Structure 1
Amino acid sequence: MERIDDVDLKILRILQNDSKKTTKEIATLLNLTVSPVYERIRRLEKFGYIKKYVAIVDKTLIKRPITAICMVSLRYHNEGFIDKFDKQIKSLKEVQECYHMAGKVDFFLKINLESLDTYHEFIRLKLSKIENIGVLESYFVLKEIFQTTEYYF
């Protein structure tokens, strides 16, 4: 992977905070001309430093105010069972994030839904249908203190 310098890092910080900034605005902030900033951004995209650009949506405005954290432990842990779980969990559109964990719990899921009733239906009709789940623990977020998509570097 190609190495990046301090200017590239500054560009990444700016774009993490506001990906709608134009190349011209970024160039002005960095006291550079537009052309080299444009080339640097394209290079950062090409080498995978920038994966994609997204809009962060307000979950309450789209009627998904309930955030559940679901801890899943599998009964069996061979590669085939883990790969099958990975594939099945990716097919559930309600699951916003999934992490394979080390420790007592095998998987950490973040799920945003309309209500506790909707979550109950999700567990009953979808998640519990996945084979090999041994233990399922649910936790509900009472208050979101802060959330970020930015990396510190």
Structure 2
Amino acid sequence: MDHIDKRILMELQTNAKQNIKEIASKVGLSVTPTYERVKKIEQAKIIKSYVALLDREKIGKKFIAYCQITLIRHHKDLLDGFKLHTLQYPEIMECHHISGNFDFLLKIVVDDITQYQQFINEKLSLLDSISTINSSFVMESVKDSTVFQV
């Protein structure tokens, strides 16, 4: 990947809806080589998908919590089972298996604290593999980016 491919990726991350002609003019190439580069990047699976990023507050998702999860023990079946369960809950936006004092870090996004409490009480805490759940609530999002520096 050269510097032009990286500029193409930055352009697509900023606005994936722009057409090839617009991208080409911004990166200093003609349309055909830009198109070929984009297709090559897509075929290499560097671009996972094209999505619409929603304003979470405008759709009512105003409450973000980060949950630090500790499992009852480190066992492959428990780890794999927990990972599979997290995929079933749309409230869990991110799930990371981490090192340190906790086993997993979850980003949970819901409408409000009441919905969060329901999620914890009626879904997450029912998983037998969990020993502890520690929650931190977002007071303000200072930076919330989806753009990777390439």
TM-score with structure 1 setting the length? 0.95
Question: Among 6, 16, 20, which residue is 2:17 paired with?
Answer: 20
- Equivalent residue runs for 1:95-110 within 5 Å: 95-110=92-107
Question: Among 118, 123, 127, which residue is 1:121 paired with?
Answer: 118
Equivalent position amino acid for 1:129 in 2: L
Gaps of at least 5 residues in structure 1 are none
- State the aligned residue count: 150
1:84-107: CA deviation from partner (whole Å, max 9, x where unpaired): 000011101110111000010111
What is the deviation of 1:31?
2.1
- Equivalent residue runs for 1:52-71 within 5 Å: 52-71=49-68
Corresponding residue number in structure 2 for 1:92? 89
> Hey, what's the Cα distance between the residues in 2 that align with 1:30 and 1:19?
15
- Equivalent residue runs for 1:128-147 within 5 Å: 128-147=125-144
Is the partner of 1:150 in helix, strand or coil? coil
> Hey, what's the Cα distance between the residues in 2 that align with 1:149 and 1:93?
19
Gaps of at least 5 residues in structure 2 are none
TM-score with structure 2 setting the length? 0.97
> Hey, what's the Cα distance between the residues in 1 that align with 2:114 and 2:28?
53
Corresponding residue number in structure 2 for 1:39? 36
> Hey, what's the Cα distance between the residues in 1 that align with 2:40 and 2:92?
32
